[in-house]
A = this chain, B = another copy of it.
């Protein structure tokens, strides 16, 4: 693990990710040229392509790091869920939403989403879907907890409910990302409206 080759490899990987992250943020995903990223990372274009399958793959590596952070934050909420069912759901999903534009722009999200759809077999597309599934599972676990606590009616699996909720909240997020004019506040408002309807359905 401490061989020269290993260390150089890890370092190049880091430099590429750092360069890409900076440039995507500064000038947007589309405008950032592979040549420029390679130059800033101090590797050749060919080497960059030894480390990442293509440009979108590089972006998805960055997106994945972002989602991993959100997952960790969500874990805190699930561990100690707020009082009411609607509050608990609202706090968890806001954790997701509020974090979404810290490191990434809407354009970056759009490109990342587009790639996972277009090339579902690429390694980082798989990783992205895994993380997405992990987020959905987190929502399911929250609902299961609420069910145990007696805030959500029995008779329907927490997984079924959680996946339904997640799919809905994901759709809201996608619409938010697609509309450059929609502010985060509006996304939050729409979230609350949907959660209100949903919790009415599932409340005891």
Contacts and interface: CB of A to CB of B under 8 A. Distances in A.
Q: In the complex this chain forms, how many copies of it are found?
A: 2
Interface of A: 110-111, 113-115, 117-118, 120, 129, 155-157, 160-161, 163-164, 167-168, 170-171, 174, 177-179, 193-194, 197-198, 200-202
Contact of A114 (B115, B129, B164, B168): B115
Given A167-B170, A170-B171, 7 more contacts: A110-B120, A114-B114, A120-B178, A129-B178, A160-B197, A167-B171, A201-B202
Contact of A156 (B118, B167, B201): B201
A136 to B, nearest CB: 10
A13 B163 CA distance: 43
Contact of A201 (B118, B179, B201): B201
